[in-house]
Structure 1
Amino acid sequence: MSKKDISNKEDVELLVDSFYAKVLKDDTIAYIFTDVAKMNVPEHMPIMYNFWATILLSKGTYVGNPMDKHFALNEKEALKKEHFDRWLKLWFDTVDELFTGSKAEEAKTRASTIGRLMLFKMEEANH
């Protein structure tokens, strides 16, 4: 199967669904989503679709502050570098498995930037 670039909301949904399928089975970070955050998957996925569609396609309807949610989560369980590194590896793997092109590269760059910023803020909060 030849890969294409991320170009529409359906592509974003495929990326996000495939990514979370990996995350929710991962030995390093699944528990943060399932046990600590107690994430309601059907409720959470449309939020993530909109978040990434807003970032990658400028077509989403995402409103909110993801940093606030992660600060609240960090209060329950310290989010550490290894958690962010694993999240990022799973994201990169998923993007690379499904897509190729400038938007796919942007998806990885944006995730790296978001992850580094969140890690920095969480580490500051933990000190």
Structure 2
Amino acid sequence: MATQDISSLGDIKLLVNTFYAKVQEDDLIGPIFNERMLGRWPEHLEKMYRFWQTILLEEHTYSGSPFPPHKQLPVNQTHFDRWMEIFTATVDFLFVGKLADEAKVRAANMAYMFNYKIEYFRNAENI
């Protein structure tokens, strides 16, 4: 059972590594990630460390726009629901506290926004 909050880059790395290890093995979203990340997992994980470090620890190490690389993914609400299920379970298993809760809120907001934008662009292209 988790007893501490997210408080360091080491905690961020533990969260990101544990989460993406589960993602890679997942029957629904694993194939999508593994196909896109082929040979680029270390680079992606480094980017995710910086992203979450910036959001949760307010140490500004990430710059960029997270949405464009995801725009053309073959995903829908079911995929985002599974992503959130894995993310939430990972956070809850590893951590407890204010930043752990913030991570789950931020992830849910991103999942909602990404799904909304992907659907928007997909529908706009079909007009």
Output the TM-score relative to the length of structure 2.
Answer: 0.91
- Verify: 1:126 aligned to 2:122, yes or no: yes
Match of 2:106 in 1: 110
The answer on whether the counterparts of 1:33 and 1:39 sit within 8 Å (CA) in structure 2 is no
**Residue number among 68, 80, 86 corresponding to 1:84 in the alignment:** 80
Match of 2:19 in 1: 19
The answer on whether the counterparts of 1:56 and 1:107 sit within 8 Å (CA) in structure 2 is yes
Give the alignment of 1:21-40 within 5 angstroms.
21-38=21-38, 40=40
Match of 2:44 in 1: 44
- How many equivalent pairs are there? 123
Give the alignment of 1:65-80 within 5 angstroms.
65-71=65-71, 74=72, 77-80=73-76
SS in 1 for 2:112: helix
- Counting aligned pairs with the same residue, the percent is 43
Query: Which letter does structure 1 place at the counterpart of 2:12?
Result: V
Structure 1: segments with no counterpart, 5+ residues: none
The answer on whether the counterparts of 2:84 and 2:107 sit within 8 Å (CA) in structure 1 is yes
SS in 2 for 1:66: coil
Match of 2:92 in 1: 96
Deviations 1:28-75 (CA, angstroms, capped at 9, x unpaired): 10011112453611111110000001000011411111111111xx2x
* Deviant stretches of 4+, over 2 Å: 36-39
Over 3 Å counting, the alpha-carbon distance change for 1:118 and 1:39 in structure 2 is farther
Structure 2: segments with no counterpart, 5+ residues: none
Deviations 1:87-106 (CA, angstroms, capped at 9, x unpaired): 11100000000000000000
Output the TM-score relative to the length of structure 1.
Answer: 0.91
Question: How far apart are the structure 1 equivalents of 2:40 and 2:11?
Answer: 22
Query: Which letter does structure 1 place at the counterpart of 2:92?
Result: D
Query: Which letter does structure 1 place at the counterpart of 2:111?
Result: G
Match of 1:5 in 2: 5
Over 3 Å counting, the alpha-carbon distance change for 1:29 and 1:2 in structure 2 is closer
Over 3 Å counting, the alpha-carbon distance change for 1:17 and 1:114 in structure 2 is same
